[in-house]
Amino acid sequence: MSCWLGVDLGNARVGLAKSDPELTFAHPIGNVQVWGNDYFHVLDDVLDVIEDEDITHVVVGHPLQLNGAEGKSAKKARRWAGALERRIAEEGIAVTVELLDERLTTVDAHRQLREAGLSTREHRPSIDQQSAVVLLQEALDRNARERAGTAVMEV
């Protein structure tokens, strides 16, 4: 079965989360270190995960501003997602890439880590992958609602 991948683009680390094959739960699978504040260099690492983990759908965080406008970071995320799509096409891999509004996912991730008993200092290495979990879980929940709505309409 296939899985989904959540990607949170950070300046120091790119957080990754993976779904279970049933597309129900997201769990962290780690970070990829970003060198020189340029997360375009991690495209190869993300492609390796896509190939190794049987990923069919990638959800990339789109950090819109609170008013919904696309600022500098959101434009960079859009360019990164486009670069990933081009690389996937070059490799001949059947994977869908989507951008998902990630406003407040980092806030939710910090809250979850605090509730898990981690101090703020301990959050730093985990926050990007936990943000990827929050982002991916949102996409999985939306997908489940859409499937449930379609199933009800077909009856």
pLDDT average, residue stretch 118-130: 68
More confident position, 85 or 39: 85
Give tens-digit pLDDT for 8-32. Answer: 998 888 999 999 999 999 999 999 9
Confidence check: pLDDT of 131 > 90: no
Q: Which of 96, 109, 95 is nearest to 8 (CA)?
A: 109
Q: Which of 76-80, 112-116, 128-132 has the highest mean pLDDT?
A: 76-80
Confidence of residue 77 (pLDDT cuts 50, 70, 90): very high
Share of the chain above pLDDT 70, in %: 79
Give tens-digit pLDDT for 58-68. Answer: 999 998 887 88
What domains does the chain contain, in order, with CATH numbers? Answer: 3-154 (3.30.420.140)
Q: Which of 98, 65, 68, 64 is nearest to 81 (CA)?
A: 98
CA 31/CA 105 separation, integer angstroms: 16
- Compute the mean pLDDT over every residue in the chain, rounded to the nearest whole number: 84
More confident position, 65 or 136: 136
C-beta of residue 25 within 8 angstroms of C-beta of residue 140:
yes
Confidence check: pLDDT of 98 > 90: yes
Q: E strands within the chain?
A: 3-9, 13-19, 26-33, 55-62, 96-101
Position 132 scores a pLDDT of: 92
Confidence check: pLDDT of 33 > 90: no
pLDDT average, residue stretch 26-46: 86
